[in-house]
Amino acid sequence: MKKLVLALSLVFLVAAAAISQFTFYLIDNFESGEFTEGAKWWRFGGLKAEITRNISSEAKDLIAESCGEYSLNLSGQTQDWYVGGIGTELGVDAAGYSRFQIDIYGNNEYSGKLIVEFFDDDNNNYTIEQDPKKNYEATKDDKWVAEVNIQGKGFTRTSIPFTAFRDVNPGGGDDFWNPDQKNGSGGLLKLQLVAITEKQQGKVNFKIDNLLLTF
Ligand SMILES: [Ca+2]
Ligand SMILES: [Ca+2]
Ligand SMILES: [Ca+2]
Ligand SMILES: [Ca+2]
C-alpha cells in the first residue's frame, strides 16, 4: 500500500511539474528577497529599485496572497515624463504563451504608467542590436510595446495579450511577433519596464510582483 501511495504521489508530482512548466513562465516574483543590480536585472535612468516586504497587516485578497513576502518597489521623479526603468534577459521560446501578466501595487497620491517592452530576436544571434546614437533603437530585432496604467493602493493584476503589443521600430527586425526559438532565433530575448509620470513633472512610487508569461 505504501509503495502504491508513493508511486501515485510521484505520478502526481511529475504531472504537476509538467503542467506548471507549460502553463506559465515565471520571470520574477522577487521572493529571493534581493535585487542585485547587474545580476538578473539592470536599471536605467532615475528609477530607484528596491526589494520591499509586503505589508502583512493589510487586508488580503487572492492576488495579494499570491504576491508572497516580497515585491519590488520602483520610485523616482522627473521633470519630463520619463523616470527610468529596469530590464532583464529572457532568452525564452515564448511561442506557447499568449499573455504577459504583472501585479502592480499603486499609490493614491501619484499614478502614472508602466511601459512594457519586449524584444524578439529576428537575425538569429541571441542578441538585441541597439544603436547608442539613436536612443538605443533596436536595429535588427523587433521592439514591442504596451502600456499599463498604475492604479491605486493594493495589488492589481494586469494581463496583457501579446496581440496588444505594437511594433515600435518598423523596418527594424521583421515586424512580426515571432518569439519562438525556431531556425536559430533566440526567441523572446529581453523585457524592459519603463516608468512614466502622470503629469509632465512628477513622481512615481509603486510595487511590482509576479511577472510571468502565460496562456
Ligand atoms: Ca513576491
Ligand atoms: Ca538579434
Ligand atoms: Ca520591427
Ligand atoms: Ca520579429
pTM of the model: 0.89
Q: In this predicted structure, what is the pLDDT of residue 110?
A: 87
User: What distances in angstroms separate CA 61 from CA 12, 56, 64, 153, 213, one per listed residue?
Assistant: 28, 12, 5, 13, 22
- Whether residue 18 has pLDDT greater than 60: no
DSSP character for 95? Answer: T
Q: What is the pLDDT of residues 136-153, one digit of tens each?
A: 899 999 999 999 999 999
Q: What is the CATH number of domain 25-214?
A: 2.60.120.430
**What is the amino acid identity at position 131?**
D
* Cell numbers that stand for 26 in this block: 515565471
* Cα-to-centroid distance, 125 and ligand 2 (Å): 5
Q: What residues flank ion ligand 4 with Cβ within 5 A?
A: 120, 122, 142, 173-174, 176, 178
What CA–CA distance (Å, rounded) separates 177 from 42? 24
